[in-house]
Amino acid sequence: MNTFTTVLSFLVAFFTLATAAPLQLRDVWAPPVLYPHAGTVWTIGSRHNITWNTTNPPQQITNSNGFVILRNDTAFVGSDLDHPLVSNFSILAGRVEMTVPNVEPGSGYQIILFGDSGNVSPYFTISA
Ligand SMILES: *[C@@H]1O[C@H](CO)[C@@H](O)[C@H](O)[C@H]1NC(C)=O
Ligand SMILES: *[C@@H]1O[C@H](CO)[C@@H](O)[C@H](O)[C@H]1NC(C)=O
Ligand SMILES: *[C@@H]1O[C@H](CO)[C@@H](O)[C@H](O)[C@H]1NC(C)=O
Ligand SMILES: *[C@@H]1O[C@H](CO)[C@@H](O)[C@H](O)[C@H]1NC(C)=O
């Protein structure tokens, strides 16, 4: 083996290891949001349970402390990463109660459920 093929096989081995490793280190869980779903209409100020599917969580969850953010097509609305809509609940609970914030009525809203990972709901409507 000349120097070139030695270096090349080292690089190939290193690259294979580097790309394979993260999959083994972490088991990210993004539980699907069940409610709100497509067709949901929420009225400003009303209270609802956001729900998600907690079937088959991984044995190790990196972060079980959940929070929820509301967004429209382009931006976080009435909440952001520092000021979530609702926070400090267990991602294993499968539901969390929240109050619909006073935002511009529209049909392009989604909630993002964060915990171990983030998961986005289907688009739903907020009405006045
Ligand atoms: C949310 O779910 C809990 C448990 O099922 C229930 O007691 C509560 O009334 C629900 N809240 C709303 C706003 O529906
Ligand atoms: C929840 O997830 C499980 C496993 O993926 C699936 O079998 C089940 O149908 C889901 N439940 C709902 C209500 O979507
Ligand atoms: C989304 O929210 C941003 C920030 O409030 C606003 O500027 C924008 O017009 C909204 N877009 C839609 C489609 O409602
Ligand atoms: C989060 O929830 C835990 C357990 O319910 C409670 O002990 C803690 O004080 C809460 N933290 C905040 C910032 O609300």
Q: Per-residue confidence of the chain (128 residues) as pLDDT tens digits?
A: 555 555 555 545 544 444 444 443 456 778 899 999 999 999 999 999 999 999 988 777 777 889 999 999 899 998 988 999 999 999 999 999 999 999 999 999 999 999 877 789 999 999 99
The answer to whether residue 23 sits within a structural domain is no
Neighbour tally for 98: CB within 10 Å? 20
Which residues does residue 66 pair with via DSSP β-bridges, in sequence order? 89
Neighbour tally for 109: CB within 10 Å? 24
The residue segments making up the domain with residue 103 are 33-127
| pTM, full prediction | 0.77
Ligand at shortest distance from the CA of 96: 1
The answer to whether residue 21 sits within a structural domain is no
**CATH number of the domain encompassing residue 115:** 2.60.40
Please list every protein residue whose CB sits less than 6 Å from any atom of ligand 3: 72-75, 77, 104, 106, 108
Total of domains in the chain = 1
